[in-house]
Structure 1
Amino acid sequence: MSKTFFERLNLMTPSGVAYKNVNLKKQILAYFANSGNATIADLCKTLTLSAPKVTNLINELIEEGLVNDYGKDSSTGGRRPNIYGLAPNAGFFLGVDVKRYHLNISLIDFRKNVIEIKENYPYQLENTQESLDELLGIITSFINGLKIPKSKILGMGINLSGRVNHTTGYSYSFFHFQEDPLSKIIESAIGIPVTLENDSRAMAFGEYSKGVVRDEKNVIFLNLDYGIGIGIIINGQIYYGKSGYSGEFGHIPIFDNEIICHCGKKGCLETEASGWALLNTFKEHVRAGSSTSAMLNKKSVDELKLKDIIEAANSDDVLAIDLIAQIGNKLGRGIALLINLFNPELVILGGSLAATEDYIRLPMKSAIHKYSLSLMSNDTQLKITALPNRAGVMGACLLVRNRLLDLA
């Protein structure tokens, strides 16, 4: 069976005429993916190539089923040129956003269109082989249910919380019980090239690409869930840091307390301002006799989850609203620190706690004004995510797409 265009590209030595031609084809595909359909003249100008050369490359891409001739351009007078663009089924990208108690999985095409998506699929993330096997089973089942051949899926992005090195493919927080990179283990099991990413960074990129961001280039995305993570966008690019682990916002030692964080240190922001902290404090209040609608369908306090508190707050539960406000105030203190450091144009609130909207945002804004420098905070917008459940899965899809085309 002959190899596909992208398989040949990956196998080629980066030298010689053959590689140069294949790389030029990739640049044409990237142009179509980013800018839409174009004429030969448009491509000549962008790639600084002659018309015969571009025409030859386009014809080869048409033969390979990656590009279509869409006929004459109706917007010009005189001799109208032909318009070319990506074939609708040229290739697809899979994204998997793994949460604590569920996952989201989606398929997009080159044009960023969502072809298939499954949200809130029940799944419990644990650092065990059984949990990894279940994840692989869910992904395989999703692929088997698609109406496109597996060979058309050019890459898969998988988001995990904690320390993830997207360059090496290692995860140091989950599924790290083999010597090989986790990306290669999953790739071997599924049969599709895999890129791992930290969930907060992927959410930041998803929101930056298709969410609430407009013209801003310097953005901080807060993933407010059981833990606290951030994704940092500087000049339109994800900031990774030297070792690839930037964004451990939850482990800034901001409090003077004796609470041991799951990282092993004391005083971390997560010990008092995370979903875990909210859940633990909420349970303490219920055990002490506080009433709450979150317990209506629960047999014991131990059954409570973060989503129960969020749903209670959005149903005007006083205890949930009060405790979320306290969390918001503490988070605002941490965000003030970020604003003083980065002076961003925009801070986006995402993750499950962002669903409480003004219950968490208003006390957060008050603390930001109290603790940040006004010259900076006055220029920083604070917004709620426009992709409450899809930022991560869209980010996973788009990152693997962009990396294949050298767009990110």
Structure 2
Amino acid sequence: MKSDLLKYIRKINSKPSAQRRLLEQFVSNGASTIPEMSKGIGVSLPTATTALNDLIKAGLVREVGKRDNSSGRIPMEYDLVPTAGYFVGVNPEMDCLALAASDFCGNLITEKTRIPYIYENTPESLEKLSAIVNDFIAGLPFGKEEILQVCVNVAERVNPFEGRAYNMYTFLDKSLAEALTGLIQLPVCIENDTRSMAFAEFCKGCCKGLKDVIFVNICWGLGIGIIIDGKLYYGKSGYSGEFGHMTAYNNNIICHCGKIGCIETEVSGRALKRKLTQKILEGKVSILSDKVLNKKEELSLHDILDAIAKEDVLSVATLQQIADELGKQLAGIINIFNPEMLVVGGEMSATGDYLTLPVNMGIKKYSLNIMNEDSQIVTSELKGLAGITGACLMARHRLLND
């Protein structure tokens, strides 16, 4: 059945069709009546009905019941079939891995977070990644043959069209997507992690239904996901959004990209760790002092976020210093893109108002008034699930649109 379904999806994707546009309508709007479908995809009622019946026959769409309407004829609603197929999303972080599975409607069925994993550019790391994914798939409540696609998020520069990562798993003599397809024995696509998170918020989170959105992912690094006129913006090769690698400081600090003075050198999890460690070494007191001074251990981002949650004064003050700079830099993004909404997400957004209040103040202070009045500044609604939710949704998106 899976092979027949994939053939059908490829067939309706091979040329413009009412069936393909109707699937997009269900993905964007959920349950719909035939008149809503007709209006949404711009075809006549008979054409919409024919396309709908074709999708029902293929097993992708079903009746979900009559809409409660107090006046006139009660219309029937239709929606995607949740069990038509499943998707798996994978989101690596610096020291752990998160995975999730979703149904055909994009609803998460199960997820696992903070699985120990070292994200590095080595064959061993890639093998470990595929082993964890295979173990996760083996424990799912449906068969492997029912999974239509897997999406793996990758940090920084990614060409999702070719399935290649610019700075991870560079030892491969084939594309990363091709290598993972062989290791997992399922179709695999890859996507930039920040863009996946932006897509998750756009489809299921705080900016659902908006057209122009910027998503800021502040974690070990710093990047943005861009949505313009309701569509993800990729740029020519998929490398858009590298906000953290704009040169902004004359600080002689070498960024991990090899350049000097990138925004990321002052505004990121790496910068937070460096600044806080330096203050502790200079004798300032923190609940992390023992780990740095006596145990001689490096701080992790998780250590620092935990200290902030415990209201460690030095950690909070250092975070707010970084948040001030983030607000100043994001003011330029507001001036350039004039978004309806700017969403602050990523691991460091878990600090809540400690981060977002200084960011808001910085944006108001340094952006044009008429511009910042247009933009809502909010924190990610999906929080720690944004990465894996986005990966699952991106797996479906790529299947239905490639």
2:178 pairs with 1:184:
yes
Structure 1 residues 76 and 124, CA, compared in 2 at 3 Å: closer, same or farther? same
* Alignment map for 1:16-95 (pairs within 5 Å): 25-37=19-31, 47-48=43-44, 49=46, 53-54=50-51, 57=54, 60-61=57-58, 65-68=59-62, 84-95=78-89
RMSD of equivalent CA atoms: 2.9
Tell me, yes or no, if the aligned pair for 1:287 and 1:301 is still in contact at 8 Å: no
Q: 1:335-356: per-residue Cα shift (whole Å, max 9, x none)?
A: 1111121122221111111122
1:310 pairs, out of 299, 305, 312, with: 305
User: Identity percentage over the alignment?
Assistant: 40
Which residue of structure 2 lines up, in the alignment, with residue 125 of structure 1? 119
Which residue of structure 1 lines up, in the alignment, with residue 372 of structure 2? 377
CA distance in 1, matches of 2:251, 2:311: 31
Q: 1:155-211: per-residue Cα shift (whole Å, max 9, x none)?
A: 111111111011111001111212311011111221222221111111111112212
Which residue of structure 1 lines up, in the alignment, with residue 359 of structure 2? 364
Following TM superposition, by how much is the alpha carbon of 1:260 offset from its aligned partner in structure 2, in angstroms?
1.1
Which residue of structure 2 lines up, in the alignment, with residue 217 of structure 1? 211
Which residue of structure 1 lines up, in the alignment, with residue 5 of structure 2? 5
Q: Read off the aligned partner of 1:209 and give its amino acid letter.
A: C
Tell me, yes or no, if the aligned pair for 1:240 and 1:246 is still in contact at 8 Å: yes
* Alignment map for 1:217-256 (pairs within 5 Å): 217-256=211-250
* Alignment map for 1:154-173 (pairs within 5 Å): 154-173=148-167
SS at match of 1:247: coil
Tell me, yes or no, if the aligned pair for 1:156 and 1:400 is still in contact at 8 Å: yes
CA distance in 1, matches of 2:300, 2:63: 53
Comparing 33-42 with 268-277, greater Cα deviation is found at: 33-42
Could you tell me which runs of 5 or more consecutive residues in structure 2 were left unpaired when the two chains were aligned: none
CA distance in 2, matches of 1:341, 1:185: 38
**Based on CA coordinates, which of the two structures has the bigger radius of gyration?**
1
Q: Read off the aligned partner of 2:388 and give its amino acid letter.
A: V
1:111 pairs, out of 105, 111, 114, with: 105
Tell me, yes or no, if the aligned pair for 1:295 and 1:301 is still in contact at 8 Å: no
Could you tell me which runs of 5 or more consecutive residues in structure 1 were left unpaired when the two chains were aligned: none
Q: Read off the aligned partner of 1:252 and give its amino acid letter.
A: M
CA distance in 2, matches of 1:305, 1:2: 43
CA distance in 2, matches of 1:38, 1:222: 32
SS at match of 1:105: strand
Give the number of equivalent residue pairs: 398
Q: Read off the aligned partner of 1:6 and give its amino acid letter.
A: L
Following TM superposition, by how much is the alpha carbon of 1:243 offset from its aligned partner in structure 2, in angstroms?
2.6
Q: Read off the aligned partner of 1:91 and give its amino acid letter.
A: G
2:338 pairs with 1:343:
yes
Following TM superposition, by how much is the alpha carbon of 1:43 offset from its aligned partner in structure 2, in angstroms?
5.8
Tell me, yes or no, if the aligned pair for 2:28 and 2:203 is still in contact at 8 Å: no
Q: Read off the aligned partner of 1:156 and give its amino acid letter.
A: V
CA distance in 2, matches of 1:55, 1:257: 60
Following TM superposition, by how much is the alpha carbon of 1:242 offset from its aligned partner in structure 2, in angstroms?
2.0
CA distance in 1, matches of 2:384, 2:158: 21
Q: 1:295-347: per-residue Cα shift (whole Å, max 9, x none)?
A: 45675243311121121122121110111111111112211111121122221
Tell me, yes or no, if the aligned pair for 1:95 and 1:105 is still in contact at 8 Å: yes
Structure 1 residues 58 and 77, CA, compared in 2 at 3 Å: closer, same or farther? farther
Q: Read off the aligned partner of 1:145 and give its amino acid letter.
A: G
Following TM superposition, by how much is the alpha carbon of 1:268 offset from its aligned partner in structure 2, in angstroms?
0.8
